[in-house]
A = this chain, B = another copy of it.
Amino acid sequence: MIKARVIVTLKNGVLDPQGKAIEGALGGLGFDGVGSVRQGKVFDVELSSTDAANAEAEIKAMCDKLLANTVIENYSVTLI
């Protein structure tokens, strides 16, 4: 069994209202010196496959088809 972690983040230049809201909230809580905050998603996926190269290719296909919107998002895959 192979475990993979997929991190999906917005591309640079794409507006992130959720991140902006968190930025404001942190300021309101008294955290000064916070520059930008960007929020993304993380997926921990377990695969029954035992071949790492195969698993990574499969995870990338999942990202392209479902997990990430590649028009506005980047993703990175790490096998754990």
**How many copies of this chain?**
2
Would you list which residues of chain A between 46 and 61 have a CB under 8 Å from chain B? Answer: 46-49, 58, 61
Contact partner of A39 among B34, B41, B48, CB < 8 A? Answer: B41
Smallest CB separation, A75 vs chain B (Å):
11
Interface size class of A (residues with CB under 8 A): 20 to 34
Encoded as 1 (CB less than 8 Å from any B CB) or 0, chain A from 19 to 40 comes to 1001001100101011111111
Give A contacts to B, CB under 8 Å. Answer: 1, 7-9, 19, 22, 25-26, 29, 31, 33-49, 58, 61-62, 65-67
What 7 pairs across the A-B complex have the smallest Cβ distances? A35-B46, A33-B48, A40-B42, A38-B44, A42-B42, A36-B46, A37-B45
